[in-house]
Structure 1
Amino acid sequence: MTQTHTQDYERTDGRRLRLTYAEPDGAVRGGLVVLHEVGGVTDAARLLVASLAAEGWLAAAPHIDEVDTEAERGAGSSLLAATDTTLAWLVDHGVRGDQVGVVGFDLGGTAALVVAANRKLGAAVSVGGRGIGEPAAPGFPTLLDIAGTLTSPWLGLYGDDGDAVEQAEIDKLREEAGRAKVATNVVRYAGASHRFDADPEAAAEAWQRTLAWFDAHLR
């Protein structure tokens, strides 16, 4: 298994951020910002970082839960500031600007869409995530409010528990994302739950769709 490492990174403007990252064994295909779920950079998040590196991506997960400056206390501003710093780290490590993307899982999936609506990246993927019709956290918009303003090609992968309201929200999100001026796709996996815990086959397919999206858009 590819090893992960943790670094305290400081930009030339003085901004600091702790990053957990993993490097491919061979050629680097591009760079990915990995946005973690609630609880910080857990063992599960480290596994995702390592798995992406094994596929050829230089992957870095910012420790967003540790960002706590006066200018960055809101959830949305902390997220964008941490993403910008991680993107700078990727560029410092030789990744071109058109070869960078963002991927998030669970609450990180919500965050990935927020980033994709506020930054022009090569590609973005959300795997699960809350906050479609109601804000997921203070400082976050609803995803329905921003999906039509996406500025990065975005793929949304959502499991559901068979709830009709939940299904309708995902379908509405697909409709709103379709209004954006970039490529978008929303895939719903019925019965997979929002974390894909209930359906290993759906989880495996979602993983392959994630890799294929980055393959298609980060060249």
Structure 2
Amino acid sequence: MNQEITRRNFIATATLATGFALAVQPVSAKVITTDTKGLVAGAVKIPVKDGEIPAYRAQPATGSNFPIVLVIQEIFGVHEHIQDVTRRFAKLGYLAIAPELFIRQGDVSKLSNIDEIRPIVAKVPDAQVLSDLDATVAWAVKSAKGNANRLGITGFCWGGRIVWLYAAHNPEVKAGVAWYGRLVGDATELQPKYPIDIASTLTVPVLGLYGGKDTGIPLDTVEKMRDRLKSSSSKSEIIVYPDAPHAFYADYRPSYREKEAKEGWKKLQAWFKQHGV
């Protein structure tokens, strides 16, 4: 096992429960906190090809054969908000798990400036992420009483892009919900494809939730994605909330919009139920 990865694993696992990423301080007063009553929740380690990665897992304390939801982090890592989202799913009866997908490249939770975070995240290969998510699903089935036949995925911002890509990578996914994930971009060796590149061949139904006032994701790219999806068999859909900015679900940030966030969460639950997650 790579010694550097092991050292970073220890650091990241120890910091999973310490709160919010430094780069998003101060935290909004509207932050939602979901308790762990009736749940098993906390840090776990996921065996991957080159060692282990830390993750945050939440699931009901009793029962088995739980539907699985992969929760994919923002650029800020698996901090308290992402952990809380997993607990929200667990309260609904899901086994939800959020793996630390940047850990080999660095611990972004300790960085206070987004300009320090971006270079780390830019070094994360898509192939590594997809492989780690495969390993996370395998762990959920083998070690946490998860049902491989009821697999869903959701993610936010950076994780929203990954939702589209993982749905294309793993046709066993029953449904995905992508919150304001970037749809187009310049191909690189580490990030060779963007959602628009896989849209026409997608078979997994993905619901995209986007903000009409998102300055980082132009509406024309959303419309291009919609157009490409028409030729796929996935029956994917995109909803745009006209007055919502980027990160409108992030209740710990000023971008939070309660109305659109609550409506999007209801849409997510209905989408998962409709498609057997």
Q: TM-score, normalised by structure 2?
A: 0.70
Larger Rg over CA atoms: 2
Give yes or no for the alignment of 1:167 onto 2:219.
yes
Whether 1:66 and 2:66 are equivalent positions in the alignment is no
Given residue 8 of structure 1, which amino acid in structure 2 is its aligned partner?
Answer: K
Q: Deviations over 1:122-176 (max 9, x none)?
A: 111101112x22249851522211111213221111112177x822211221121
Conserved? CA contact 1:102–1:123, under 8 Å: yes
Matches within 5 A, 1:1-219: 1-2=35-36, 4-10=41-47, 15-25=51-61, 27=63, 29-67=66-104, 74-92=124-142, 93-120=144-171, 121-130=173-182, 132-135=183-186, 138-161=190-213, 166-196=218-248, 197=255, 199-218=257-276
Q: Which runs of 5+ in 1 are unaligned?
A: none
Contact persistence 1:31–1:58 (CA under 8 A): yes
Q: Distance in 1 between matches of 2:147 and 2:257?
A: 36
SS in 1 for 2:89: helix
Q: Report deviation, 1:74.
A: 4.9
CA distance in 1 between counterparts of 2:135 and 2:94 reads 18
TM-score by length of 1: 0.87
1:28-73 Cα deviation digits (max 9, x unpaired): 64011111011210111111111111111100001101146xxxx7
Between 139-148 and 109-118, the greater mean CA deviation after superposition = 139-148
- Closer, same or farther: CA 136–109 of 1 in aligned 2, 3 Å: farther
RMSD between superposed Cα atoms in Å: 2.3
Q: Distance in 2 between matches of 1:141 and 1:80?
A: 12
Query: Aligned partners of 2:73, 2:214: CA distance in 1, in Å?
Result: 25
Distance 1:162 1:52 in 2: 26
What number of residue pairs does the alignment pair up? Answer: 212
Deviations 1:87-134 (A, max 9, x none): 10121123232201111111101111110111111111101112x222
Task: Please give the secondary structure, in 2, of the residue aligned with 1:5.
Answer: strand
Q: Is the 8 A contact 1:152 1:182 kept in 2?
A: yes
Give the Cα–Cα distance (whole angstroms) in 2 for the partners of residues 142 and 94 of structure 1.
Answer: 33
Query: Where does structure 2 lack aligned partners over 5 or more consecutive residues?
Result: 1-34, 106-122, 249-254
| Aligned mates of 1:162, 1:65 — CA distance in 2 | 25
Q: Counterparts of 1:45 and 1:128 in 2: how far apart (Å)?
A: 15
Residue 26 of structure 1, CA deviation: 5.1
Task: State, as a whole percentage, how many aligned pairs show the same letter.
Answer: 26
Which amino acid in the other structure matches residue 22 of structure 1? A
